[in-house]
Amino acid sequence: MATLHLASGSPRRRELLAQVGVPFVTLIASIDETALPDEPAERYVERLAREKALAGLASLPAAADAVVLGADTAVVLDGRILGKPLDRADALATLAALSGREHQVLTAVALVAGQRVESRVVASRVRFRALRAGEAEAYWATGEPCDKAGGYGIQGLAAVFVSQLEGSYSAVVGLPLCETVQLLEEFGISCWQV
């Protein structure tokens, strides 16, 4: 069976793969994550997932049995990609923009082996309740929003902000498990390996 390499430093993606019993080796694949001019959000996340997987494969010694998984998540509000907050002010502005509104979370997963590249994009809708005065500031003070797309983590403290979710919870966390397992099976890697 092929060895799966996860081209991501995300602890959430590691936890999700472990949750479904898929053994893997982690590697870091650095790429430029700047959006291209007028690049639609869906195309952006898919491109980044593919580039991460390809960069990961390129970093490995030539091995015919290596499969590399790359993924990317974007929070999208009014057609605008909300990245990781630059600083406190950016995080507070982002949380204020999300307050009482629905936004889209797009997560792409890509698998690469040899010359073969396959990817999927999963779209979910998340609604925040209206945030009370001081909540965004208190949330920022926890440190949790610093490295999260859109400035929040649904699997963490920000779960209390989410009033509705339509779509894939695991995709909002950072890896759509249903679609990921389907892709892995197409590449000869099964889940529930205990």
Catalytic residue numbers read 72
* Residue given tokens 């999963």 in the structure block: 122
DSSP 30: -
The dihedral over CA atoms of 157, 158, 160, 161, expressed in degrees to the nearest 10, equals 160
- Residues 74, 45: contact at Cβ < 8 Å? yes
What does DSSP say about strands 3-7 and 66-77: parallel, antiparallel, or unpaired? parallel
Distance of CA 151 to CAs 9, 82, 147, 156, 158, Å?
18, 8, 7, 12, 9
Dihedral sign for Cα 10, 12, 16, 19, please: positive
Q: 84: which 2 tokens?
A: 């990781």
